[in-house]
Structure 1
Amino acid sequence: MLRVVDFTSISGRYRDLLPRAEFNVERAVEVVTPILHDVAERGAEALRELSQRFDGVAPEHLRVPAEAIARAEAELDPDLRSAFETSIARRRAVAEQLELETDGPSARLAEGAVVGLRNIPVSRVGLYVPGGLAPLASSVIMNVVPAQVAGVASIAVASPPQKEFGGLPHPNILALCAILGVDEVYAVGGAQAIGMFAHGVEGLCDPVNLITGPGNIYVVAAKRAVRGLVGIDSEAGPTEIAIVADDAANPAFVAADLISQAEHDPMAASLLITDSESLAHAVQAELARQVSGQAHEERIRTSLTGEQSAIVMVRDVAQAVAVADAYGAEHLEIQTRDARAVAARVRNAGAIFVGDYAPVSLGDYSAGSTHVLPTAGCACHSSGLTVRSFMKTVHVIDYSADALAAIADGVARFARAENLPGHARAIEIRGEA
Structure 2
Amino acid sequence: MKILHTADIHIGYDTHGRLDAKTGLNSRLLDFEKCFKHMVSVAIEEEVDLFLFCGDAYRDSTPTPTEQRIFARALRPILDKQIPVVMLVGNHDNPGSFGKANSIQIFPDLHGMVRLFTKPDAEDIQTKSGRLRIVGLPWAMRSNLFTKGEHADKKPEELKQLIYEAYSNFIDAEAERIREERLAYPVILAAHLHVQGAEVSEKSEVIFDTKDPLFAVSALAKKEFSYVALGHIHKHQDLNLGETPPVVYSGSIERVSFSEWKQPKGFVIVEIDHEKKASYRHIQTPAREFISIEVSVKSSDAPLEKVKEAIAKKNIQDAIVRVRIECTSDQRKDLSQRDVKELLSGAWSIAEINIMSDEEVERRRATQITRAMTTREALEKYILERPDLQPIKDKLLAKADAIEGEIEKIS
TM tier, smaller:
under 0.3
Say which structure, 1 or 2, has more relative contact order (CA 8 Å, 6+ apart): 1
**Structure whose CA Rg is larger:** 1
TM-score normalised by L of structure 2: 0.27
Whose helix fraction is larger, Structure 1's or Structure 2's? Answer: 1
TM-score normalised by L of structure 1: 0.26
